[in-house]
């Protein structure tokens, strides 16, 4: 790498604050002992996955601790986050929808999507909401907001069963390197969504059962969630930028304070590449090639620094 460019990169990294990641997982009521245990186990698995990164801030509420008061307190505390930080809120359990609002069943008073939305609106950080409950599709029109990623296990509020299976495969997605389809040693929200969605579809096909859940994603603040995000519908871009898990050498590097800023810059470059691909159809071909080449050069140089 040329020395002047390296000095310039390091100057940028030195002045940029490394973003923090916050994870709040809520496992609500199950109604039956079997479901209660299953929801709590899923929450524990997610807690373990997220805590593998020592820099992550992780809060998990389940059982008697998963009250509305405690959920509200955890979300209010995130009002002090920075715009570059990321917040992941995961809901597990039974949800209901009355044609007006969605609610997550909790010990004591339930919490509604409207109430969740009001709390989330006060959080400056980038947000990913993973609602893995029955009737979760009913929360999307309430929680949607430009640049906020909302994933629901069901496509509507009326699609429901005794328990959804999407959480099982979402957790599997965060553990399976096969989720990393772009091979950049990290798993994004979009990659995890596509993995889990495909697994759910395969489950119902293999079991020869009528599908009772259809996972959808919404991250453009447009309205209904979609099954197949892409450039044609403008969905999925923000989810692709949301890194949930680092793998292999990337995981070790992400834990190294001296290289965290390089990791962040690499993720930003990947986000710019995704943005460019989404805009390809509306960009002059020569300009597209020029921008793509510059981003690829910058990415290669940053990766070279990480590999040292």
From 226, 269, 245, select the one nearest 178 (Cα to Cα): 245
Say whether both 39 and 104 belong to one domain: yes
Residue 188 in any domain: the answer is yes
* DSSP-based three-state secondary structure for 148: coil
* Mean pLDDT for the stretch of residues 238-242: 91
Task: Write down the pLDDT at residue 246.
Answer: 86
Tell me the whole-structure pTM to 2 decimals: 0.80
Instruction: State the pairing for strand pair 243-246/186-188.
Output: antiparallel
Q: Looking at the 3D structure of the chain, how many domains does it have?
A: 2
pLDDT for position 173: 97
When pLDDT is averaged across residues 62-91 and rounded to a whole number, the result is 97
Helical H segments across 27-159, by residue range: 33-51, 68-77, 113-120, 140-143
Q: How far apart, in whole angstroms, are the C-alpha atoms of residue 127 and residue 150? A: 8
Buried/exposed 241-255: b ≥16 CB within 10 Å, e otherwise: bbbbbbbeebeebbe
The shares of helix, strand and coil residues in the chain, as percent rounded to the nearest 5, are 50, 15, 35
Let me know whether 179 and 287 are in one domain: no
- Give every strand in the sheet of 21-27, ordered side by side: 57-62, 21-27, 86-93, 126-133, 149-152, 216-218
pLDDT mean across residues, the chain: 85
Domain that includes residue 145, residue range: 19-246
pLDDT band, very low/low/confident/very high, at 14 (cuts 50, 70, 90) = very low
The verdict on residue 139 lying in a domain is yes
In angstroms, the CA 93 to CA 14 distance is 43
Q: Are residues 279 and 190 in the same domain?
A: no
What is the spatial distance between Cα 180 and Cα 166, in angstroms, rounded to a whole number? 18
Maximum Cα interatomic distance, the chain, rounded to a whole number of Å: 64
Q: Do 137 and 54 lie in a common domain?
A: yes
The whole-number pLDDT of residue 294 equals 81
| Residue 251 placed within a domain | no
Q: What is the CATH number of the domain that holds 193?
A: 3.40.50.1460
The whole-angstrom separation of Cα 158 and Cα 160 is: 6
Of the pLDDT bands very low, low, confident and very high (cuts 50, 70, 90), residue 74 is very high
């Amino acid at each position: 790498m040329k020395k002047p460019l390296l000095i310039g990169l390091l100057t940028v990294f030195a002045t940029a604050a490394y973003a923090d990641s916050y994870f709040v997982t809520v496992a609500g009521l199950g109604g039956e002992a079997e479901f209660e245990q299953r929801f709590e186990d899923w929450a524990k698995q997610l807690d373990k996955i997220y805590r593998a990164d020592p820099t992550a801030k992780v809060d998990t509420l389940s059982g008697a601790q998963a009250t509305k008061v405690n959920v509200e307190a955890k979300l209010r505390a995130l009002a002090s986050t920075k715009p570059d930080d990321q917040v992941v809120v995961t809901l597990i359990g039974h949800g209901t929808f009355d044609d007006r609002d969605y609610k997550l069943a909790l010990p004591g008073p339930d919490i509604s999507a409207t109430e969740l939305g009001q709390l989330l609106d006060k959080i400056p950080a980038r947000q990913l909401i993973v609602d893995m409950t029955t009737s979760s599709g009913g929360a999307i029109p309430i929680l949607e907001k430009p640049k906020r990623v909302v994933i629901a296990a069901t496509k509507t509020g009326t699609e429901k069963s005794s328990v959804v299976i999407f959480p099982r495969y979402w957790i599997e997605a965060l553990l399976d390197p096969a989720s990393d389809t772009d091979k950049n040693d990290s798993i994004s929200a979009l990659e995890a969504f596509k993995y889990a969605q495909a697994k759910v579809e395969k489950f119902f096909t293999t079991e020869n059962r009528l599908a009772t859940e259809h996972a959808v994603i919404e991250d453009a603040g447009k309205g209904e969630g979609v099954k197949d995000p892409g450039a044609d519908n403008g969905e999925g871009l923000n989810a692709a930028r949301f890194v949930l898990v680092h793998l292999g050498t990337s995981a070790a590097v992400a834990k190294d304070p001296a290289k965290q800023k390089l990791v962040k810059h690499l993720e930003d470059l990947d986000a710019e590449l995704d943005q460019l691909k989404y805009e390809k159809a509306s960009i002059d071909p020569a300009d597209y090639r020029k921008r793509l080449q510059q981003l690829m050069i910058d990415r290669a140089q940053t990766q070279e620094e990480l590999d040292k």
